[in-house]
Structure 1
Amino acid sequence: MDGDAWRGPDRNGNRNGQAAASVTKGAALLVAAFLANTLQSAFARAVGADMDALTFTWLTFVLALVLLIPVLVVRGGRDLSTAVLPLHLLRGGMGMGGFLLFMAAAKLVNLVNANVLLNTTPMFIPLLAWLVLKQRIPANLWKALAVGFAGMVIVVQPNASLLDKPGDLLGLAAGFVCAIEFLAVKSLGKSESSFTQLAYFLTIGSLTSSLMMLGRFQSITWHQLLLVLASAVCLLSFQLLLIRAYSFADPSAIGAFQYSSVIFAGLIGWIWFEQIPNLGVVVGTVLICIGGVLSLVWQNPPRPTPDWSA
Structure 2
Amino acid sequence: MSPLGGIALKLVSVFLFTIMASLIKATSDLVPPGEAVFFRSFFAMPVIVAWLALRGDLSTGLRVKRPLGHVWRGVIGVSAMGFGFAALGMLPLPEVTALGYAAPLLTVIFAAILLGERLRVFRLTAVGLGMVGVAVVMWPRLSVDTLDQAAAMGVAFVLVSAVLRALAQIHIRRLVATEETSAIVFYFSMTATLFSLLTLPFGWAWPGWTAAGMLVAAGFLGGVAQIFLTTAYRFAEAAVLAPFDYASILFAILFGYFFFDEVPTATVLIGSAIVMAAGIIIVWRERQLGLKRGQARPSMTPNG
The verdict on how the C-alpha distance between 1:71 and 1:242 changes in structure 2, with shifts beyond 3 A counting, is: closer
Structure-2 residue corresponding to 1:260 = 247
Structure-1 residue corresponding to 2:64 = 82
Structure-2 residue corresponding to 1:154 = 136
Q: Which amino acid aligns with 2:44?
A: A
The verdict on how the C-alpha distance between 1:211 and 1:299 changes in structure 2, with shifts beyond 3 A counting, is: farther
CA distance in structure 1 between the partners assigned to 2:170 and 2:14 by the alignment: 19
Is the CA contact (8 Å cut-off) linking 2:35 and 2:199 kept in structure 1? no
Structure-2 residue corresponding to 1:53 = 33
Q: Which amino acid aligns with 2:39?
A: L
- Give the one of 191, 196, 212 matched to 2:183: 196
Q: Does 1:230 align with 2:220?
A: no
The verdict on how the C-alpha distance between 1:137 and 1:59 changes in structure 2, with shifts beyond 3 A counting, is: same
CA distance in structure 2 between the partners assigned to 1:140 and 1:78 by the alignment: 40
Structure-1 residue corresponding to 2:163 = 176
CA distance in structure 2 between the partners assigned to 1:36 and 1:299 by the alignment: 28
CA distance in structure 2 between the partners assigned to 1:253 and 1:289 by the alignment: 15
Q: Deviations over 1:249-281 (max 9, x none)?
A: 222222000000010000110111111011111
Q: Counterpart of 2:267 in 1: which secondary structure?
A: helix
Q: Deviations over 1:148-167 (max 9, x none)?
A: 11111110113453654211
The verdict on how the C-alpha distance between 1:183 and 1:241 changes in structure 2, with shifts beyond 3 A counting, is: farther
CA distance in structure 2 between the partners assigned to 1:204 and 1:280 by the alignment: 38
The verdict on how the C-alpha distance between 1:292 and 1:173 changes in structure 2, with shifts beyond 3 A counting, is: farther
Structure-1 residue corresponding to 2:260 = 273
Structure-2 residue corresponding to 1:296 = 283
Matches within 5 A, 1:12-161: 21-22=2-3, 24-69=4-49, 77-157=59-139, 158-160=142-144, 161=147
Is the CA contact (8 Å cut-off) linking 1:122 and 1:179 kept in structure 2? yes
Matches within 5 A, 1:213-252: 213-252=200-239
The verdict on how the C-alpha distance between 1:174 and 1:251 changes in structure 2, with shifts beyond 3 A counting, is: same
Is the CA contact (8 Å cut-off) linking 2:33 and 2:82 kept in structure 1? yes
CA radius of gyration, larger in: 1
Is the CA contact (8 Å cut-off) linking 1:36 and 1:238 kept in structure 2? yes
Q: Counterpart of 1:248 in 2: which secondary structure?
A: coil
Q: Deviations over 1:39-79 (max 9, x none)?
A: 12100111141212221112221222244455667756442
The verdict on how the C-alpha distance between 1:196 and 1:148 changes in structure 2, with shifts beyond 3 A counting, is: same
Deviates more, 1:59-68 or 1:32-41: 59-68
Structure 1, unaligned stretches of length 5 or more?
Answer: 1-17
The verdict on how the C-alpha distance between 1:162 and 1:250 changes in structure 2, with shifts beyond 3 A counting, is: farther
Q: Counterpart of 1:108 in 2: which secondary structure?
A: coil
Structural RMSD (CA): 2.5
Is the CA contact (8 Å cut-off) linking 2:87 and 2:154 kept in structure 1? yes
Structure 2, unaligned stretches of length 5 or more?
Answer: 297-304
**What TM-score, normalized to structure 2?**
0.85
CA distance in structure 2 between the partners assigned to 1:117 and 1:106 by the alignment: 11
**What TM-score, normalized to structure 1?**
0.84
